A and B are shown apart, each in its own frame.
Chain A
Amino acid sequence: MGNVGTALTNLKTNFKSPSQRRQRLGLFFVLPAVIFTLVFFIIPLLITAWMSLFNWPLLGKHTFIGIENYVNMFSDKQFWSSLWFTTKYTIIVTPCIFILAFILAMLVNLPMRGVSLFRTAYFLPVVIGLGASSLLWVWLLNDRVGIFNRMLMDLQLIKQPVVWLGDINLAMITIVISIVWKTAGFAMILLLTGMQAIPESLYQAAMVDGAGFWAQLRFITLPLLRRTFALTLVISVIGSYLAFDQFYIMTRGGPFNQTITVVYWIYNNSFAYFKMGYGSALSIMLLVVLVLLSGLQLYLLRGEPDI
């Protein structure tokens, strides 16, 4: 067997058969996509790392300064402030999204009539774009012309219009609400996919054993959703860490630069102050943080369920 096998292999490698030539054709099909990825993803990534070692203004000479950008980062108060704010924001927004998405997924997973209508409604905000959504909420929350204040006053919940986006805590709350509104549907679909992969028979067996709703949730649904949950969590956390649009549009980083996220700070440095070298160093730092975060999450949520 071995001898025949090696003989055949030698035959194949020494004589390129038409089918082998054809296999290489695959390379050409794949090439355009690879070239695009190289030019617009890989190379820029390498350039970012390279630029981070320079003082690189938009116009004029760029000078090599080694790790000076990274050293300066440590004493950059706004950087740490932004990092902290972005972390705080992520910590608040993530559970909100998940809890709502989980509830929605459970509701929509039932074989009731009209379920697809509800699913569509819950998902609708996902497709409208973050820019449009932020502009929508800016109006909604406006203290003079927004309908939010009007409704709250009519319901006697507040006496005077509130400037929601003018106070750091209120702004955080309302932006979180707007983001949860926008993205819960997406997380819902991801969780739903995982839920639908759980065999019905498990629930039926549990019911026979006398397990009620909460027991079923704890011992069947949640453990089996672990992998889906981990994936959804990583996507959600990365998304929150990269937040920019809503803060640029709704609060302009205010009040008093308190809502400047990491990406917003990168944007300011690279495209407002044109300190592109420093902006690149910040970008690399962001990447490192994301990789660490994702790795941490996947590590903590590792392992197959025991069922």
Chain B
Amino acid sequence: MNTTVDSVQHFGKIRHRHAGTRKASYYIICSILAAMFIFPIFWSALTSIKPPLEASASPSTYFPTHLDWSNFKKLDEYGMGLWRYVFNSTIVALLTVFGSILLSTLAGYGFSRFNFPGKTFLFITILAALMIPFQSILTPLFIILGKLKLQNTLLGLSLVYITFQLPFGVFVMRNTFETIPRELEEAALLDGCSSFSVLHRVMLRLGIPGIVTVAIYAFLNSWNEFLAALIFMSSEKNFTLPILLVNVRNALYGQVDWGALQAGVTVTIIPCIIIFLLLQRYYLQGLMGGAVKG
């Protein structure tokens, strides 16, 4: 009983008999707040499984009279069909994840375990890119992609996304490698391993938490990104999910179908939520590690 009292000491001196009500009010407040955060997502998902007429009903109804997947089917009728855009978004996300991991791990290894001229300067340069809002370099990026014949391609978009991820990714991987004891590496080198093998056999295995963190951020940022995709993609067949949804909302395809729109929102949201719930630990570690260091 006493430990419960001690644990709420931040609320000031607690009288023993008030401990119960304090606890109850704590849970009530927290739950109300939690509800406020979850409700919008909940209602949106609920709308997406309403029959289309109910989803666009005015005034709005609360619960569906019956489950109906038509909204998802209707979403498929827009542009080139839902799955085309899901496919595009997935390709871009996978390329970004793969590229980010590759470049960040290599660079993190280089910065952590080697001492070469210009090391600090290059490290700061990569990190300084965090300071540059990509919104201000979109115009030349547009032109550069054009010159590289990569405009309006999924690959071009992915390359840009990979670059956005680099400051954070390199930072995380370098920190991850810093925590691995050098003796392991030195032992492997003494055994005749090349530096590259050391990376491959030793560091990668032990650096998995960092790699997962980089992967999560790379995926979420590229899956959700809207502005750059809007600017760099000019033909329908290359649009990503966010662009499709905005076109639906802007009634480019006719009257706004709210059920279909929320179905689209739900489809976009689900991978993010699943990844977050499953890999929370790594995601938060990445954030908190960065904040402490900063």
Contacts and interface: CB of A to CB of B under 8 A. Distances in A.
A66 interface: no
Nearest to B169: A33
A136 interface: yes
Interface residues of A, number: 100
Contacts of B140: 43-45, 47-48, 51, 280
B41 A23 contact: no
Contacts of B132: 41, 45, 287
Contacts, number: 298
A65 B218 CA distance: 40
Nearest to B115: A23
A128 B224 contact: yes
A73 interface: no
Interface string A16-59: 00000011111111101110110111111101100100000000
A127 B110 contact: no
A286 interface: yes
Looking at B137, B166, B224, the one whose CB has the most chain A CB atoms below 10 A away is: B137
Contact of B115 (A26, A161, A249, A290): A26
Interface string A189-214: 11011100100000110010000110
Given A147-B62, A189-B288, A249-B246, A121 B7 contact: no
B291 A231 contact: yes
A124 B276 contact: yes
Contact of B107 (A33, A51, A120, A189): A33
Contacts of A127: 220, 272-273, 275-276, 283
A231 B102 CA distance: 29
A232 B109 CA distance: 29
A219 interface: no
B133 A238 contact: yes
Interface in A106-129: 106-107, 109-112, 114, 117-118, 120-125, 127-129
Given A244-B135, A270-B139, A37 B166 contact: yes
B284 A189 contact: yes
Size band of the interface chain B makes with A:
35 or more
Contact of B114 (A29, A245, A270, A284): A29
Interface of B: 7-13, 23, 26-27, 29-31, 33-34, 36-38, 40-41, 43-44, 47, 55-62, 102-104, 106-107, 109-111, 113-116, 118-119, 122, 125-126, 129, 131-133, 135-144, 159-160, 162-163, 166, 170, 195, 199, 220, 223-227, 231, 242, 245-246, 249-250, 258, 261-262, 264-265, 268-269, 272-273, 275-277, 280, 283-284, 287-288, 291-292, 294
Contacts of A271: 138, 142, 231
Contact of A139 (B27, B47, B226): B47
B109 A29 contact: yes
A23 B265 CA distance: 49
Interface SS, B side: helix
B249 A138 contact: yes
A283 B136 contact: yes
29 contacts: A26-B111, A27-B110, A33-B170, A36-B103, A37-B126, A37-B163, A39-B163, A40-B144, A43-B140, A44-B137, A48-B137, A107-B26, A111-B7, A114-B30, A121-B34, A124-B38, A127-B283, A128-B273, A131-B224, A144-B58, A145-B60, A147-B47, A149-B60, A150-B62, A181-B36, A213-B11, A228-B291, A267-B138, A267-B227
Contacts of B265: 132, 135-136, 139
Nearest to A214: B12
